[in-house]
């Protein structure tokens, strides 16, 4: 059984449940998501999102780097997957600044 075919772990479910709270037109960062679920590892969160079997209903594309750059998508940080992530975000109403970063007004912060 591949990692994509196995059932999600308890940790992965926690990540997916939190990501579903991020509204359309908004993004959150790996760090903010980590604070919300009490996980200090952005890499662990990224790996959980990479394995997301519930996309696009569980919108892993709404999680970006702390500097509000796109970050990764489908296990890569360049090329067509990143362009696809940007298009998904733009279609949902996320706006980008001239420098390519996401407008901070689009950053969702979880309620504690």
pLDDT in tens, 33-62: 999 999 999 999 999 999 999 988 999 999
11 SS3 class: helix
| Host domain of residue 20 | 10-106
Which tokens in the block code for residue 3? 């990692």
100 DSSP assignment: S
Q: Is residue 60 among the annotated active site residues?
A: yes
Q: Residue 3: inside a domain, yes or no?
A: no
Q: Is the pLDDT of residue 14 over 80?
A: yes
Which tokens hold the place of 31?
């760090």
Mean pLDDT of the chain: 92
76 versus 87: the higher-pLDDT residue is: 87
Residue 83 covered by a domain: yes
The model's pLDDT over 101-112, given as tens digits with 9 standing for 90+, comes to 999 999 999 986
Q: Which one of 39, 60, 106, 107 is the catalytic residue?
A: 60
Tell me whether residue 98 is in a domain.
Answer: yes
**Given this model, what pLDDT does residue 112 score?**
67
Q: Looking at residue 78, what is its pLDDT? A: 87
Is residue 5 assigned to a domain? no
pLDDT band at 2 (very low <50, low <70, confident <90, very high): very low
Q: Are 86 and 79 in contact (CB under 8 A)?
A: no
Indicate whether 4 belongs to any domain. Answer: no
Between CA 98 and CA 79 the distance in angstroms is: 19
Instruction: Look at the chain and report how many structural domains it folds into.
Output: 1
Q: What CATH number corresponds to the domain at position 18?
A: 1.10.10.10
In a domain, 96, yes or no: yes
Q: What is the pTM of this model?
A: 0.90
Q: Are 60 and 51 in contact (CB under 8 A)?
A: no
């Amino acid at each position: 059984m591949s990692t994509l075919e196995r059932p999600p772990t308890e940790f992965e479910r926690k990540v997916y449940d939190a990501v579903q709270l991020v509204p359309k037109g908004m993004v959150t960062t790996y760090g903010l998501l980590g604070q919300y679920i009490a996980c200090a590892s952005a890499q662990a969160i990224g790996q959980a999102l990479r394995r997301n079997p519930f996309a696009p209903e569980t919108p892993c594309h709404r999680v970006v780097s702390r500097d509000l750059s796109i970050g990764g998508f489908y296990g890569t940080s360049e090329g067509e997957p990143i362009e696809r992530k940007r298009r998904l975000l733009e279609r949902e109403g996320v706006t980008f600044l001239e420098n390519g970063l996401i407008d901070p007004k689009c950053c969702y912060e979880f309620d504690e």
